[in-house]
Structures are given as structure tokens and as C-alpha cells.
A and B are shown apart, each in its own frame.
Chain A
Amino acid sequence: MPEISLPIRLGPISPAAPGPLYQQIVDGIKREVLANRLSAGAALPSYRVLAEQLLVSLITVKRAYEELEREGITYSRQGLGTFVAARGNDRTRADRRGKARDALRAAIHAGHEAGMSDRELLQMLRDEFKAGSTESADELVRGGLP
């Protein structure tokens, strides 16, 4: 089967992975936008072509594209296709930050439920930063978290 070259490569979309298939495509395209492999104005493949490449139904791709457009990551032009919006990258980043904040809130809630104090939770966060060895995390810890 001839390989169709696409501007993007998404990982395999699998029912075994968490989340519905369309959400996996949304997340995959957001990842590409965030990493600047898809920059503003870049055209996404037609949904028929992407469906064939990812081996998912047309409606799954359509729904993913609708979701991306709804979130302002992409826009579509009748008859021309779907493109990455000028502020798609910012919106994706904002979206990611929102998710990180939600995850932190959930962690704080879980800590309180386990009877931990705020001080203990902060210490746990520091320990986690130390355990992860990325430079920025080290700097954060040296710079002194509150």
C-alpha cells in the first residue's frame, strides 16, 4: 500500500488507550500544535485521508476536527479544508495550563481527604520536583518554593 505523506504524524489511535478515539486525535493534534510541528495557517489533512491513515471512522475524525474548531485551535474554510488558527498554539497552551491546574486541585483535595496538612502537601510537591530531574524543576526547588 503506498504511504501517503502527511504534514503530521499522530501516534496509533487505540480503543485500549484512555479516552474516546476522537479525543485521542484531538490530543494528538494539540501536541503537534504545541510542539510547533503544525504552525499557524498549516493545513490539516482532509478527514477522509486522516481516517484512512489512522484506521478510524470518518465520523471520528470529523468529530475531532469539530472539537478542535470549537476550542479555537483550528478553523475551517468551506471547500478548502481545515487550518491551524493563528492563536491555536496559545489556546493549546492555555488549555494545558488549565488541565495542570485541575490536576493540582485534585491532588490537594486527595491530600486533604487523606488528612494531610498544606505544609505536608507542599513538602510532597517539593519531593516530587526533586525526584524528577529536569533542570527547571531543580531551579524551582533552589529558588525556593513558598
Chain B
Amino acid sequence: MNPFAIEFRDVQKSFELNFTLGPLSLSVPRGSIYALIGPNGAGKSTALNMLMGLGAPGLGNIRVLDHDLPADEVDIKRRTAYVSPDMDYRAWGTVGRVIDFIRGFYPDWNPDRCAELQFTFGVHRDARVDALSFGSRMKLALILALSRDAELLVLDEPTLGLDAIARRQLFAELLRFMTAEGRTILISSHQLMDLERFADHVAVLNKGRVLTSGRMDRMTERYRQFDARILRDTQVAMTGVQFIDRSGERVKILIDQDLAPADVLEQLKIEVLAEIPLSLEDLFLALIMAADARGGWWPQMSAA
């Protein structure tokens, strides 16, 4: 069996306003929770939409659950549940009518789960959808997705509008979903602290491209961040080393231990003042700042 539930291979698509997604290659291991993170406009939703057949790639190909998109779209959708903030169920009137309508489409619908989820998230059948808060509408979309015994969950910003309690409930439900063998979740969110705790893999997307990806626990070990002083003979260009902030001779540097030489600190000839521990959020900020700096103000640095 293919070890990957989802594979993007050199996927590329250009949009108006000079935004190009890709070339994007991503492999989501079966049986994992995979986090897709990135600043606003990085292309996360665009990539997830493509998975759901909303917009075909210009170049490259996408395989989902051993099927090809767009040829096997129907088969893929039967086994995949999808949630996005754009879903609008107001036309059905009440929560109960939405549920009764949606369940008819899916043979894998689990009515007991659905009742439990309504209780957990506190969304009642007789509530009017247009009277629900934004967060409660998101909860409704999550109830609809999690009430199925789908193999793949694709969640685009599912934490949007949820309070801390609901967010915790959501992640508890996601781990519960994962207790069955072979299920996979692909999730995009800005809740990096939650993702660091719950996700197994992560890919950082910026300007339509993957900056880095890997196992969540290895990610924060792979990179090290230092507060340092640059000296007269400090090297500024070295593989795996990124300068992310500078004020005078004080710099903050990010080292990718997979790319940098083992004795990188000696070679750089910097005076290390402190190592700054990295959470996923710190790493995310450092990576994005480094990526932005690369195209702009940094290279003309002179260590005088």
C-alpha cells in the first residue's frame, strides 16, 4: 500500500495578481495528522481547494488515497470529509435540516457519532443556522465532517472563530478520529501552539512554496536560534545559516542543522550570547522573517 495518503508532485498554478502556487511537492503520510502552516496568502487554502477538486492544477499531479485527481474525483470525495470557513448552510434553515440533508449523501454516516458531536459542541438540531455565531457555524461544519467514517479529513482553518474550549474539544475529537487505523488528517491553521502539540508532521508554506517540512518533533530540534554578536571577520554567507534580525552588531541567526556544517558556529566567527529555545511559533516567525530578508535588506551587510 502507498505509505502516503496525499501526494502533490510539482503542482503549479498561476493566478491573477502575480500569485503563483508552487512548484509544490508534498507527501502526507497515511495515519498522520499533517499541519500546513503559513502566513496569510501563502497558498494554503488554494492547495487544499485543489485537493477537493476546486480548481485544477496547471502543471504537475495530485494523488489522493491512491487515486488521481481530477479523474477519480468522485471516488476520492466519497472517502474524504472537508471543512472550510466558506461553507454556508443557511439555506436549509435549521441545524437539523442541514444534518438530515447531508447524511443522505454519505453511506459512511454514523448517526450515534453525530448525536455525540452535537452534544460535545453544543449545537442543537432546532437552532437556526442564520442565528448561529461564526464559531458555531464552524462547529456545525465540523460535526458534519466528523459524523462520517471518512478515511481522510481535510480541514481548512477549522479553528477560526472557536474559543479555547471548543478548540481543545476539536483536537480531542481529531485524536479520537485517529484512533481508527489508517486515517489521515490534513489541517491548515494559525493555532501553532495547538498544532505543535497535536500534529505529527508540518509543512511551512510561504508565497506558494514549501519553506521546510518534516516531523513535528524533529522540526524544532533541527533548527537552532542564537542571539549573537558579529565580529569583524564574521562570515555572512553559509549554507544552512540565516540571519533573521539585526540591530548594530547584535544579530539573531537561525541555523538549519541538516544543511549547515557541523562546526558552523566556529566557522561563522560570531560571539554567541545566548541560544534562544524554539517553539513551533518561534521557528515559524524565524523562517518567514529569514525568507523575507533574503530577498531584501540583508545581503548588503558589512560587519565593520
Residues of A within 8 A of B (CB): 1, 15, 20-22, 48-49, 51-52, 55-60, 63
| Partner pick for A60 among B116, B172, B179, B217, CB 8 A cutoff | B217
| Partner pick for B198 among A1, A20, A49, A56, CB 8 A cutoff | A56
Most buried by B among A21, A49, A51, A63: A51
Contact, CB under 8 Å: B178 / A20: no
List residues of B (199-234) whose CB comes within 8 Å of A's CBs: 199-201, 215-217
Question: Is B102 interfacial (CB-CB < 8 Å)?
Answer: no
Contact, CB under 8 Å: A1 / B172: yes
CB neighbours (8 Å) of B168 from chain A are 55
Contact, CB under 8 Å: B33 / A57: yes
The CA-CA distance from A60 to B217 in the complex, in Å, is 7
User: If A1-B172, A58-B32, A59-B217 touch, does A15 touch B198 (CB 8 Å cutoff)?
Assistant: no
The CA-CA distance from A1 to B116 in the complex, in Å, is 8
CB neighbours (8 Å) of A52 from chain B are 172, 175-176, 178-179
CB neighbours (8 Å) of B181 from chain A are 48
Contact, CB under 8 Å: B32 / A59: yes
The CA-CA distance from A48 to B177 in the complex, in Å, is 10
Given contact pairs A15-B196, A56-B197, A58-B175, a sample of 7 additional A-B residue pairs in the complex whose CB atoms are under 8 Å apart: A52-B178, A52-B179, A55-B172, A57-B33, A57-B217, A59-B200, A59-B216
Contact, CB under 8 Å: A59 / B215: yes
CB neighbours (8 Å) of A20 from chain B are 217
Contact, CB under 8 Å: A55 / B197: yes
User: If A1-B116, A15-B193 touch, does A55 touch B216 (CB 8 Å cutoff)?
Assistant: no
The CA-CA distance from A21 to B179 in the complex, in Å, is 19
Contact, CB under 8 Å: B197 / A21: yes
The CA-CA distance from A119 to B279 in the complex, in Å, is 44
CB neighbours (8 Å) of A59 from chain B are 32, 200-201, 215-217
The CA-CA distance from A1 to B172 in the complex, in Å, is 10
Most buried by B among A48, A52, A57, A58: A57
Question: Is B239 interfacial (CB-CB < 8 Å)?
Answer: no
Contact, CB under 8 Å: B197 / A15: yes
The CA-CA distance from A20 to B277 in the complex, in Å, is 12
Closest partner residue, chain A, to B175 (CB atom): A52
| Partner pick for A49 among B116, B171, B172, B179, CB 8 A cutoff | B179
CB neighbours (8 Å) of A21 from chain B are 197
Q: How near does chain B come to A129, taking the closest CB pair, in angstroms?
A: 35
Closest partner residue, chain B, to A52 (CB atom): B175
CB neighbours (8 Å) of A15 from chain B are 193, 196-197, 279
List residues of B (144-187) whose CB comes within 8 Å of A's CBs: 168, 171-172, 175-176, 178-179, 181
The CA-CA distance from A116 to B197 in the complex, in Å, is 44
CB neighbours (8 Å) of B235 from chain A are none
User: If A1-B116, A48-B178, A63-B217 touch, does A55 touch B198 (CB 8 Å cutoff)?
Assistant: yes
Question: Is B120 interfacial (CB-CB < 8 Å)?
Answer: yes
| Partner pick for A1 among B120, B178, B199, B279, CB 8 A cutoff | B120
User: If A1-B172, A63-B217 touch, does A58 touch B178 (CB 8 Å cutoff)?
Assistant: yes
CB neighbours (8 Å) of A48 from chain B are 178-179, 181
CB neighbours (8 Å) of A51 from chain B are 175, 178
The CA-CA distance from A60 to B171 in the complex, in Å, is 15
The CA-CA distance from A20 to B279 in the complex, in Å, is 11
